[in-house]
Amino acid sequence: MELGSEQYGCAHYTKRCRIRAPCCGEVFGCRHCHNEAKNSLEIDLNDRHEIPRHEIKKVICSLCDKEQDVQQYCSGCGACMGKYFCGKCNFFDDDNWRRRQVLPLRQMRNVLKESHHCVEGAMHHNCPVCFEYLFDSTKDISVLHCGHTIHLECLNEMRAHHHFACPVCSRSACDMSDAWKKLDEEVAATPMPEFYQKKMIWILCNDCGATSNVNFHVLAQKCPGCSSYNTRETRGGGPAAARSMV
């Protein structure tokens, strides 16, 4: 059952089977192998295409070369063609999937502890930045404080452009306490004109979900509950209406 755990697979997954593409009838290591080959510059533009992954019906065992319907265990030699298998997604993988996704998730839960929110089916959706399906993505994946998942490189790209909120729920994607302290200093150093000093507005905190009535300030509005500046104005009509800090 464990035979071939290291020597079989492709550049994208460790597994013991290949797929027959329903679109062109050719055999490839996985759907990524197909898409890379069929969308290369050497292929005529009119012939380029991607595999309809949910239409894959046949797989070939890498140990005994038996072609068969999509299933986890080979009907010929009994080998497990992928320790992690999804018949709906036609997905097979072994150690690479565990190293890339399961272990980082466990490590992230240990780091976040009580602040982590588990999201059911978090891997079964598209990356909120690049829209690639995360479940069978070959890229590293990160879990945000809110529990939503995103490609690590997409998260780094967001941070490089000074976006620090989850694209799905707007909660802060990392520890922003140092940034909030700097904003405290900037707000304290920027007194409002007398006309605005008694102006009150309603805000919604994207981090804790609380709604509060606070003094308006042109720079930012601080949540009195969790001290976050990741807030947006809901009522009041001030110049900063509907603005979120992150």
Domain locations in the chain as residue ranges: 9-93, 122-174, 176-233
pLDDT band of residue 90 (cuts 50, 70, 90) is confident
Distances (CA, A) of 9 to 18, 142, 148, 193: 8, 25, 29, 67
Taking only the tens place, the pLDDT of each residue in 203-223 is: 999 999 999 999 999 999 999
The proportion of the chain whose per-residue pLDDT surpasses 70, expressed as a percent, equals 81
Taking only the tens place, the pLDDT of each residue in 175-199 is: 899 999 999 999 999 999 988 888 9
Average pLDDT of the residues in 127-144: 85
Whole-number Å distance between alpha carbons of 227 and 205: 9
Range of lowest pLDDT (37-46, 91-100, 149-158, 219-228): 91-100
**Which three-class secondary structure string do you get for the chain?**
CCCCCCCCCCCCCCCCEEEECCCCCCEECCHHHHHHHHCCCCCCHHHCCCCCHHHCCEEEECCCCCEEECCCECCCCCCECCCEEECCCCEEECHHHHHHHHHHHHHHHHHHHHHCCCCCCCCCCECCCCCCECCCCCCCEEECCCCCEEEHHHHHHHHHCCCCECCCCCCECCCCHHHHHHHHHHHHCCCCCHHHCCCEEEEEECCCCCEEEEECCCCCCCCCCCCCCCEEEEECCCCCCCCCCC
- pLDDT at position 242 over 80: no
Whole-number Å distance between alpha carbons of 10 and 174: 35
- pLDDT at position 122 over 80: no
- pLDDT at position 118 over 80: no
Check the CA dihedral 68-74-77-81 and report its sign: positive
Average pLDDT of the residues in 44-57: 91
Give the CATH number of domain 176-233: 2.20.28.10
Distances (CA, A) of 156 to 38, 126, 149, 162, 209: 30, 17, 13, 10, 25
Tell me what pLDDT residue 245 has.
Answer: 56
pLDDT band of residue 96 (cuts 50, 70, 90) is low
Token pair of 143, please? 């879990």
Contact assessment for residue 227 and residue 237, using Cβ atoms and an 8 Å cutoff = no
Tell me what pLDDT residue 9 has.
Answer: 86
pLDDT band of residue 51 (cuts 50, 70, 90) is very high
Superfamily of domain 122-174 in the CATH hierarchy = Zinc/RING finger domain, C3HC4 (zinc finger) (3.30.40.10)
pTM of the model: 0.54
